[in-house]
Amino acid sequence: MKIGLLETGEPPRALQPAFGRYGGMFQALLGPGHDYVTYDVQAGALPADPAACEAYLVTGSSAGVYDDLPWIAPLKGFLRAARGRPLVGVCFGHQVMAEAFGGQVVKSDKGWGVGLQAYDIAEPQPWMDPSTTTDRVVTAPGSHQDQIVALPPTARAVAGSAFNPAGILVYADQPAISMQFHPEFEPAYAVALIEARRGTRYTDAQADAAIASLAGPNDRARVAGWIDAFLAQAG
């Protein structure tokens, strides 16, 4: 499958030599079974036609969907134009899809969700692994302050937590899913990102607790399997 990676952000420049960019992280997560084309959305690059790729994945970003940035409105318009193509959104991608399709995102007064994030699976999906019927908790690194507070009319939350109820969304009217956590973040990158933001976005106590959580087991490979299965079923 030809996947268009809509890159809406990038890691801090100091971390890119060791970890690369977000498009590369998703290629490593999903593996060599697909063809990938990366679009630098922040620089104004979007496919000229939704038919350019068979599916699209929207990455994370340090921007907020409510920010007055020149590339956000065109991205929302492209997502609406691409309705019918399989769509996957992660973190900012999760949020911008929600806004594009009628939901609402705000900077949450709950503060930062950072470190290993755990979601309870309320409604197993056909693209999830069979063990989901009994293993109802999924974990992956997270890093967000914004949250979806009003779902799009055709979306429902199938997994989440008390901190973030809209953890994973599915759409009833199109082949689209999205998630707030970051399965593409290797723990080493997640730790490096926290250290880069220590003292600015996170207090020492927040940073220490988040880094300690990332030493535990995670379900990155499991979620990668979900995305692959979704794309196979949707395509």
Q: 154, exposed or middle or buried, with CB in 10 Å at 0-12, 13-18, 19+? A: middle
What pLDDT, on the 0 to 100 scale, is given for residue 133? Answer: 84
Q: What number is the average pLDDT over the span 89-113? A: 97
Could you tell me if 88 and 119 are in contact, meaning their C-beta atoms sit under 8 angstroms apart? no
Amino acid residing at 85: R
**How many angstroms separate the CA atoms of 38 and 55, rounded?**
12
Ranges of beta strands (E only) in the chain are: 2-7, 35-40, 55-58, 87-90, 104-107, 113-121, 137-144, 146-150, 155-160, 168-171, 176-179
Beta strands 87-90 and 55-58: pairing type?
Answer: parallel
Whether the Cβ atoms of residue 141 and residue 66 lie closer than 8 Å to each other: no
What does the mean pLDDT of the chain come to?
97
- % pLDDT > 90, the chain: 97
Confidence of residue 219 (pLDDT cuts 50, 70, 90): very high
State the pLDDT at residue 235. Answer: 79
Tell me how far apart the alpha carbons of residues 40 and 210 are, in angstroms, rounded to a whole number: 29
Domains of the chain: 2-234 (3.40.50.880)
pLDDT digits (tens, 9 = 90+) for 25-82: 999 999 999 999 999 999 999 999 999 999 999 999 999 999 999 999 999 999 999 9
Residue 204 has pLDDT above 90, yes or no: yes
Rounded to an integer, the average pLDDT of 180-189 is 98
Residue partners of 151: CB distance under 8 A and separation at least 6 = 98, 103, 157, 166, 169
Q: Mind listing the pLDDT tens digit for each residue in 125-179?
A: 999 999 988 889 999 999 999 999 999 999 999 999 999 999 999 999 999 999 9
Cα–chain-centroid distance for residue 223? 11
Residue-level pLDDT at 184: 98
Residues whose CB is less than 8 angstroms from the CB of residue 169 and which lie 6 or more positions away in sequence, other chains included = 94, 97, 98, 148, 151, 152, 155, 156, 157, 158, 177, 178, 179
Question: Average pLDDT, stretch 120-126?
Answer: 97
> How many residues appear in the chain?
235
